[in-house]
Amino acid sequence: MAADVAAAASGHEFRERMLFTHRGLSGPAILQISSYWEPGTSVRIDLLPRVDILAEQIARRGERTETKTIVAAHLPKRLTDLWFKRNVQSRPVATASDRELERLAGALHNWEILPRGIEGYEKAEVTAGGVDTDDLSAKTLEVRAVRGLHFIGEVVDVTGHLGGFNFQWAWASGHAAGKAL
């Protein structure tokens, strides 16, 4: 998809791009929210976080436009076609009731999915776990209980958001540990 979505779970939300793959959902928004998602819980996706689709449909009631045509201006065509096929029937916006438009908007802004699982370490960008930071010196990354033993980078329980923060942590912690030796 070209535009951002908002993906929310466990009190966190990320507005980034989303990708439909042959195996499920991916892309930055999904990778980010996966760090907070708990198995068995749902992820809420707003497919149009920058658009008030209900207000737009109501404002265009005077036109001979289909509800689907209005949505298609904001989403890729194949997604729009499939989404309407699965969720609601397109109809002239002039004859759609408030309730129908509200249902359509609600479904687009609150698409709730229950993920079956994640792809695991094979595809993960970060392990989200590792050596407890409480056991390490914040300055030198040395294990408090074992002199001369340092842990840095990915093996430590530090998880960065997408955008180079995990690289930054690996380099910065390595630098700090190296300076202390």
Ligand X SMILES: Cc1cc2nc3c(=O)[nH]c(=O)nc-3n(C[C@H](O)[C@H](O)[C@H](O)COP(=O)(O)OP(=O)(O)OC[C@H]3O[C@@H](n4cnc5c(N)ncnc54)[C@H](O)[C@@H]3O)c2cc1C
Shortest gap between Cβ of 124 and ligand X (angstroms)? 6
Interacting residue ranges for ligand X, rule: CB under 6 A: 125-126, 153-155, 160, 164-167, 170
Shortest gap between Cβ of 131 and ligand X (angstroms)? 11
Residue 118 or 170 having the CB closest to ligand X: 170
Residue 102 or 154 having the CB closest to ligand X: 154
Residue 115 or 153 having the CB closest to ligand X: 153
Query: Kind of pairing, strands 111-113 and 19-20?
Result: unpaired
Shortest gap between Cβ of 118 and ligand X (angstroms)? 14
Distance CA 170, CA 178 (A): 12
Shortest gap between Cβ of 26 and ligand X (angstroms)? 12
Going edge to edge, which strands form the sheet with 5-9? 12-16, 5-9, 43-46, 111-113
Question: In the complex, which residue's CB is closest to ligand X?
Answer: 153
Residue 58 or 131 having the CB closest to ligand X: 131
Find out whether 66 and 90 touch, Cβ atoms under 8 Å.
yes
